[in-house]
Structure 1
Amino acid sequence: MSSGTIDVGIDLGTTNSAVAVLRGVHTEVIKNNDGDETTPSAVWIDRRNRLYVGRAARDRSERDPDNTCIEFKLRMGTAGQDKRFPASGRTLTPEQLSAEVLASLRADVAARLEQEVRAAVITVPAAFGLGPCEATQRAAELAGLTFTRLLQEPAAAAHAYGFQATEENAMWLVYDFGGGTFDAAVIRLRDGEFSVVGHCGDNYLGGKLIDWRIVEELLIPEAVRQVPELAGLARGNPRWLGAVAALKQAAETAKIRLSRAPTADILVELADDTGRRFEFDHELSRADVEALAEPLVARSINLCRTALEEFGVGPADIEKTIMVGGQTAMPFLRERLADPARGLGIPLDFGHDPMTVVARGAAVFAGAQPLPADWSAPAPRAGAFSLRAEYPRVSPDLDPVVVGRVTGTEGAPTEGLAVELVNEESDPPWRSGRVPVSERGDFTSVLRAEPGRRNVFRVHVTDASGTRWPVTPDHLGYTVGAVETEPMLTHAIGVALADNQVRGLVERGARLPVRRTTPLRTTVTVDRGHGGGLIRIPVLEGERPRADRNRTIGSIEVGADRVSRAVPAGSEVRLTVEIDASRLVKVSAFVPLLDEVFETTVSLLSEPVVDTRELEMDAGAERARLAQLAERGRDVDSPVADLLLQRVVDEDLDGELDRAVDAARQDPSESGRANSRLLDLRLALDAVEDELAWPELVRQAEAVVTEVRDLIAAHGSESDKADLPLYERDIQRAIESRDADLLRQRTDRLREHAMRVLDRSGVLQPLVFDNLAAHQSSMRYPERAARLIAEGRRARDTGEEERLRSINIELQSLLPEAPPSILGGDSTVL
């Protein structure tokens, strides 16, 4: 584009998408061919293989559901989510479907601007993981957008509000309740720049959940009651796909009308697979919808509180709540959010249309992103100069610095050159004066900009005689405004270790771009000569210390075919991860033994579709755990545990899990939501469990400290004794933080330290043997156990430590479960 910056911003939404462009300091939302500012994120392919996007596709979802696809954004970056269109025989991935929406928006902009659009800023939920971000980038490329930047949706909304804001220092909360996702973000505006400083979100909390609740809990039961022939009407039943799609669309339309009226009439024709049609009418009340939406709204508010708490602020520190997303039109949601007791009590701001504010903010951000070199200007002709300039396209500075280089073509002068920058539109006109150019063509100048408009500085290149020469490009654009300069990584990145722990790579909240290196040790031998072995490092996203409580988003693999010689187990691997401003990842693994770097690509796919039977079993186990914890909670006086259990009830986490599992049973594309809800319930119950177990955990930790203190006094070296206070301090800090997982980790670390001391002094293996021998009656294969124990006694008495170690390992394999540790707790260390 002629401005030299991207300028086009796209909000790729779950239910609706929008595109905007930046014009000076104002944004314009581009209308589509239907004259609407938003385009439904829907695709329909007819039997002639003609593909439709937008309203035409959404309207066909009722009459031709098999050949229509909606709400595919949430499947981005997830394996096994392809959509088959039987009428045409085509199959498209979620990325290809999103690419069709992006291509439609791109065409709308091209028609409005009358020029090809090859670059755009595309927004993604802040809760999106690395996999969906990478998938969004692929979709953009498929749509013909060869240069893109990704921007988090809350940050985009903040750009729309903060771009020309008069406040220099403020703190805002972005409340983004869209069709498929929810984000809460704390925005700090300081000295004309802003950044996302706190975030909490849910990729599966959106308005479509309210729509489905209306359908499944209100409309379907009422339709079956009114028309007995509709028996069997259910989501996922092939006979009633069209009827369910009609109810879903009617529910969404009625929900929107209820934002302005206490009731909304629903009148639809429901058809079965034979073409028989049945009329259904129902009066939907606002109160009924509010009751269904209440747990979802409660969850959104709790996520806001978490975002505030993690940054260390409260509602009183926040100036306003920026409202984003179609669901914010609900009067019930607004009242609940503004309520100081049940909500947040922060003033709500609707200064921009919640449906288009993200696209507008993306356009603002796009105006600060330079296009690749030579995109926006033709190559200079003979006897002319080309200019390359580095400077911020948008910043709060009235006097930005520009560093540039002019390069001449054949026939252009090389000595006595100077550059002058001229802003003829300022009042009064401003000139930099002649700035001499070095022998290499370099120069530096300070601009003088005016706020409230886009400043255009003409570039004059003159020789020693004062003659002007043509230069490409011949102008620089600059705008005074607030922008986010360093986006935040919303989820920590780490790798899973063999003991279900996590080795952190990049911490949550790190400013992007970021580069980190960490040493790891291999657990298997990789031998090229024998064709076996694989260095496989699972990549996790999340902050939980237990690996299985985070999302596995991919893996780093170095196979035997890639190494020049054997790499034994225990070899060092230095892992380097780089994440750019769009949260796209590059990884390399350096193996010092080989003195070789392996450039390895992380396959960033979210978890594959899970078998519904496995989901049902896991959900049943968590429901049983919830019942057990509720029972324990009645016997233990723990106000914190009571509050945590009440939060499970308020958010209806077990009910949401049941609904998600049921939806996944009928529609495999819902397995991602079911997995997410399962993890939500697990984490909530982990917190309750930790709170109820806290007094016992502290008692165990203190007992281990006392026991280890005595053991090291008797058997440790001076170095061991000097290290002990460090371990004790770490345990005390974990107790003070009331972090159960951290306390477990640090207690285990102290146990391991003690075991090393005992092993080095020759005391450990006899102690372990005596501990195992005391459980002889529980061992399998009694004759073998008796023989091993007899051999162990002889080895112990004669001081054969390594023989005793081998016997201990064999004895432990005969036990159905690990015996109590010799240092207390629940784990045995051999």
Structure 2
Amino acid sequence: MSTIDYGIDLGTTNSAIAALSGVDTRIVKNNDDQDTTPSAVWVDRRDRVFVGRAARDRAEADPGNTCTEFKLRMGTAGAEKHFAAGGRTMSPEQLSAEVLRSLRADVHQRDGVELDAAVITVPAAFELGACEATRRAAALAGLRTTPLLQEPTAAAYAYGFQSGEDARWLVYDLGGGTFDAAVVQLRDGEFTVLTHRGDPFLGGKLVDWRIVETLLVPAVAAEFGLDDLSRGNPRWTAVLSRLKLAAEAAKIRLSRAPSVDVLLELDLGEPGRHEFEFEVHRADVERLTEPYLIRSVNLCRQALADSRLAPDDLARVLLVGGPTLSPYLREWLADADHGLGVRLDHSQDPITAVARGAAIFAGTQRRPGPAPVPDVPGARLRMAVEYAPIGPDTEPLIAGRLLPAGEDRTPDLVGHRVELISDDPGAVWRSGQYPVGPDGFFAVPAWAERGRRNTYRITVTDPAGTPIDVPHDPITYTVGIVETSPLLTNSIGVGLEGNTRQWLVRRGTPLPAYGRVTLRTAVDVGRGGHGGVLRIPFLEGEHARADRNRQIGRLEVVAAQVSRDLPEGSEVQVRLEIDASRLITARAYVPILDEEFEHVVRLGTETAPAHAVLSAELEVERRRLAAVRQRQRDVASPVAEIDLFRIDDERIEPEVAALVDAARADPDAASAAGRRLLDLRAAVDAVEDALEWPELVSGVEQAIEEVRRLVATDGDAGDRRRLDELSATARRAVDDRDPRLLRVQFSELAEVAVTILDRSGRLDVMVFEDLARRRGELLDRAQGDALLERGRQAVAGGDHATLRNLNVRLRGLLPVPPPPPDPFSTVRRA
């Protein structure tokens, strides 16, 4: 087997593994004869580890020693699970490795294969730290080669592998814990992911928790008098776990019934039986589901807008993930008002589509190392063959080289010929003979039939036409769609002072890719362990403010690594490389040392925030949200109204509040709350920008005109060039509706104005007049009056040097230094 051929969907709720066989895929069933394995781990009192159904079944009775949904904590530091019964602590990577080991065991049992290579899928919305954690989990599980594939891309392979369609699709992938929306374009047997939007904390589990918190918890609390029953109370962890599993089961059953009964026996820590019965109605679950559907559709529309497309430009929407089996979800998506109004395609099993697509992609991936070239005793030649195992062409090119074997190391290949032959039943075909070059190279066009795996052999003849036995592995080729180039789904950059960021690689860049940036050290780094440490945060996201993006790791060069002292302000050149699996390598070159430091990026350094921190941050955002709502009532901005409607429509603030409360006892909720707080901040930022935008544009336009007047009276050629540059950048910021860039231009226009005013001496007069207006604040009135009188004389005499000195002395008499004067006020008064 020269290609990998096995693909794994490592899911939040369930995982699956599939194998490619010809043009078909086959799900490898587990020991329970099921297509999927629950992503659950249980450790018993004897420290034995159980994975899958056996672990999932223990989640109700023994939640303290059972762990589920750990995929959502991949790449987060300090997210370990302690299993008290066995005394074992496991990280999300180690837990995921147990699931992967279980899938490997299924392959060994069913196929007799000792699997050491497989394609593993990850959500397109996964941060890079989570991708790196997935790779580590695979290594722990004994998988040496694990290309990572984004889940929407895998779905496109599953749906379109044998499709001859030229069209645009949208992959709607709603799993247990993550959501991805990807716009895919197919053309001439190749496909490209044009754009992507996603949320790594949007999935079916949110609906389960909404059923628990909105329907079941109030009913249980009322029936048994439990005033403190909540997800955030660690006392009730076991009861909440039981209710969540019941909610998930009820949600699934409601796909085929208008209502279902929940019947549970709860352990409330008191003697006696506590039976709970509750009827869940489909209409209630649909109402609770609606905000998440709205959010998913908004992400789909953003993905389309990024590609400058509309729903009418799509041929169909591909449904992926267990929650897409819901009739209500399908009705919502198909509706032109609420959803997308595009034909839905659910011809593939949405639960196993990602694993099947991963297996197809695995058929394009060769196993590591060079292709084996057999060296048979007694043979004069051996053969190396190179070709793409899957591709869109029906006439692929098979290339290779004849090499010496045995003792003959310089064979004469002039006059040798090769022929490609297919002996497949019903498809017998010969290429005819093609010459071999003097260096042994040859290339032969093949003929491939669609809908099957084509198998070939190569014959070799000498100049006399005598066949020569040259052993080689069978050549297989399948006509099918292939991805042209994966794209980076989120921009990657570094955080800088002033809450700014500088991007290294922007979203939508074809992978593999690299970026380079030159930085300066902010502290002295002393040789041999003393002094500071160069530490720069790596960010992933799209926001202009650094702290609105996700910190996925940091760049570190410690003092012990440097060969001599590194002074503050030293240049550091950072180069970042991202491969097709979105795995990062980085190097930092320090010119003053002429040294390069490799692997200086530590991913997965971000920890789940503590409940107290989340609570404080939530209160800050609530106050900001209330403030912009009040401003909107005064200003009535149509754009701000749309942004506020989205915040309310998606229930962002109430959801964050519920997650923050749950974070008291639930680590998954803490991670999700941190992410959703970032979303809430960014949403409020958008409202602030919309409210400020008209004033900001007007202010910059006025500043440009005022600086132009200053330049005309007191400026020089350099001032005029600088003004032209700032004016052009400001126009671009207005066209792009970029408030951050426009604020920067306003600040730089003010700097130009200050420079010209200072050069002309008018700034000193301006400062003096401001200080004179503050006469009543002076700490020593007599000394102040004397200085003010001397200042008036300096102004009248044009003595700017004396005036500047007096301004310094007057500022020293104020209890609080005054803010810098508005440089444009002088221009307006002139």
- Do the structures match in fold with TM over 0.5? yes
SS in 2 for 1:253: helix
Aligned to 2:350: 354
Shift of 1:14: 0.3
Query: Following TM superposition, by how much is the alpha carbon of 1:566 offset from its aligned partner in structure 2, in angstroms?
Result: 4.0
Q: Distance in 1 between matches of 2:598 and 2:433?
A: 48
Distance 2:370 2:326 in 1: 48
Deviation for aligned residue 1:702: 1.0
Aligned length: 819
Partner Cα distance (1:813, 1:360) in 2: 74
1:61 match: 59
Maintained 8 Å contact 2:374/2:382: no
Q: Greater CA deviation, 410-419 or 300-309?
A: 410-419
Residues 536 and 557, structure 1, Cα contact 8 Å, conserved in 2: yes
- Contact 1:772–1:811, Cα closer than 8 Å, also in 2: no
Matches within 5 A, 1:101-250: 101-167=99-165, 169-228=166-225, 232-250=228-246
State the partner residue of 2:580.
581
1:340 corresponds to which of 336, 339, 342:
336
- Secondary structure, aligned partner of 2:274: strand
Task: Determine if the alignment matches structure 1 residue 86 to structure 2 residue 87.
Answer: no
For residues 58-87 of structure 1, the C-alpha deviation after alignment (integer angstroms, 9 at most, x for no partner) is 000001111110000000000111011111
Specify which of 284, 302, 309 is matched with residue 280 of structure 2: 284
How far the C-alpha of 1:45 sits from its partner, in A, is 1.0
Tell me the distance in 2 between the aligned counterparts of 1:767 and 1:483. 71
Residue of structure 1 equivalent to 2:43: 45
> More deviation in 814-823 or 284-293?
814-823
Letter of the 2:147 counterpart: R
CA distance in 1 between partners of 2:442 and 2:794 (Å):
81
Do the aligned partners of residues 786 and 295 (structure 1) sit closer, same or farther apart at CA in structure 2, a change above 3 Å counting? farther
Are the structure 2 counterparts of residues 465 and 282 from structure 1 closer, same or farther at C-alpha, using a change threshold of 3 Å? Answer: same
What secondary structure, in the 3-state scheme, does the structure 1 residue paired with 2:302 have?
Answer: helix
> Secondary structure of the residue that 1:184 maps to in structure 2?
strand
Q: Equivalent residue for 1:302?
A: 298
CA distance in 2, matches of 1:768, 1:619: 43
Code of the residue aligned with 1:183 in structure 2: it is: D
C-alpha contact 1:460 1:474 (8 A) present in aligned 2: no
* Residue identity opposite 1:53 in structure 2: V
**What is the alpha-carbon distance in structure 2 between the residues aligned to residue 470 and residue 788 of structure 1?**
110
Q: Deviations over 1:600-658 (max 9, x none)?
A: 43111152121211211111121122122122212223222112111111111110110
Q: Is this contact kept in 1: 2:754–2:763, CA < 8 A?
A: no
- What residue in structure 2 maps to residue 503 of structure 1? 502
For residue 452 of structure 1, give the secondary structure of its aligned residue in structure 2: coil
- Aligned-residue sequence identity (percent) comes to 51
Q: Which residue of 2 aligns with 1:397?
A: 393
Q: Shift of the alpha carbon at 1:438?
A: 4.3
Q: 2:379 touches 2:470 (CA, 8 Å); kept in 1?
A: no
Provide the rounded CA distance (Å) in 1 between the counterparts of 2:558 and 2:765: 41
Counterpart contact for 1:415–1:463, Cα < 8 Å:
no
- Shift of the 607–740 alpha-carbon distance from structure 1 to 2, 3 Å rule, reads same
Write out aligned runs for 1:344-423 (5 A).
344-374=340-370, 383=379, 387-412=383-408, 414-416=411-413, 418-423=417-422
How far did 1:198 drift? 1.1
Paired residue for 1:638? 637
CA distance in 2 between partners of 1:668 and 1:795 (Å): 68
Aligned mates of 2:322, 2:369 — CA distance in 1? 38
The equivalent residue for 1:828 is none
**Aligned-pair distance for 1:273?**
4.5
Amino acid at match of 1:736: D
SS at match of 1:692: helix
Q: Secondary structure at the match of 2:557?
A: strand
Partner of 1:14: 12
What RMSD in Å do the two structures reach over aligned CA positions? 3.3
Shift of 1:750: 3.6
Contact 1:526-1:567 within 8 A present in 2 as well: yes
Seen in structure 2, the aligned counterparts of structure 1 residues 263 and 382 have a Cα distance that, compared at 3 Å, is: farther
Report if aligned partners of 2:521, 2:570 keep a CA contact under 8 Å in 1. Answer: yes
Distance 1:748-1:647 versus aligned 2 partners, 3 A rule: same
| Greater Cα offset, 313-322 or 371-380 | 371-380
1:799-830 deviations in Å (ceiling 9; x for gaps): 779x97996999799857854543589xxxxx
Q: Against the structure 1 CA distance between its residues 599 and 786, is the aligned structure 2 distance closer, same or farther, given a 3 Å change threshold?
A: farther
Aligned to 1:265: 261
Letter paired with 2:500: Q
Quickly say closer, same or farther: Cα 1:463–1:567, change in 2 above 3 A. farther
Tell me, in whole angstroms, the C-alpha distance in 2 between the residues paired with 1:755 and 1:473. Answer: 78
Does the residue aligned with 2:162 lie in a helix, a strand or coil?
coil
Asked if the contact 1:159/1:482 (under 8 Å) is kept, the reply is: yes
Q: What's the counterpart of residue 486 of structure 1?
A: 485
The one-letter code of the counterpart of 1:129 is E
1:765 Cα deviation from its structure 2 partner: 7.3
- Secondary structure at the aligned position of 1:617 is classed as helix
The whole-number CA distance in structure 2 between the counterparts of 1:560 and 1:438 is: 57
Give the superposition deviation at 1:225: 2.4
Q: Counterpart of 2:552 in structure 1: which amino acid?
A: I
Q: Give 1:475 deviation, angstroms.
A: 2.4
TM-score (norm 2): 0.92
Residue identity opposite 2:419 in structure 1:
E
Paired residues of 2:321 and 2:350 also in contact (CA < 8 A)? yes
SS at match of 2:488: coil
Q: For 2:780 and 2:6, locate their aligned partners in 1 and report how far apart those are by CA, in whole Å.
A: 75
State the secondary structure of the residue aligned to 1:407: strand
User: CA separation in 2, counterparts of 1:810 and 1:459?
Assistant: 91
* C-alpha distance 237-786 of structure 1, shift in aligned 2 (>3 A): same
Q: 1:821 to 1:29 in 2, by over 3 A?
A: farther
Contact 1:795 1:804 (8 Å CA) reproduced: no
Tell me if structure 1 keeps the 8 A contact 2:778–2:815. yes
- Counterpart in 1 of 2:719? 720
What SS class does the counterpart of residue 289 from structure 2 fall into? helix
Change (3 A) 1:804 1:294: farther
Aligned to 2:552: 553
Structure 2 residues not aligned, in runs of 5+: none
CA contact (8 A) 1:10 1:123 kept: yes
Distance across 1 between alignment mates of 2:475 and 2:752: 63
2:72 to 74, 95, 108: 74
Q: Which moved more, 1:512-521 or 1:352-361?
A: 512-521
Moved more, 331-340 or 74-83: 331-340
List per-residue Cα deviations over 1:521-579 (Å, max 9, x = no partner). 33333343893133322111111111111111111122333333444433332221100
Taking a change above 3 Å as real, the CA distance of residues 749 and 162 of structure 1, as seen in their structure-2 partners, is farther
Aligned to 1:252: 248
Aligned residue type for 1:353: D
Change (3 A) 1:276 1:97: farther
Contact 1:210 1:293 in 2 (8 A): yes
CA distance in 1 between partners of 2:584 and 2:770 (Å): 48
User: Residue 377 of structure 1: CA displacement?
Assistant: 7.6
Structure 1 residues without counterparts, runs of 5 or longer:
826-830
Q: Structure 1 residues 453, 620: closer, same or farther in 2, change over 3 A? A: same
What pairs up with 1:436-451 in 2 under 5 angstroms? 436-451=435-450
Which stretch has the larger CA shift, 723-732 or 177-186? 723-732
What is the one-letter code of the residue matched to 2:120? I
Do the aligned partners of 1:765 and 1:805 also contact (CA within 8 Å) in 2? no
Counterparts of 1:769 and 1:519, CA distance in 2: 38
Q: Distance in 2 between matches of 1:799 and 1:600?
A: 56
- Look up the equivalent residue of 1:696 and give its one-letter code: E
**1:773 Cα deviation from its structure 2 partner:** 4.2
Which shifted more, 13-22 or 391-400?
391-400
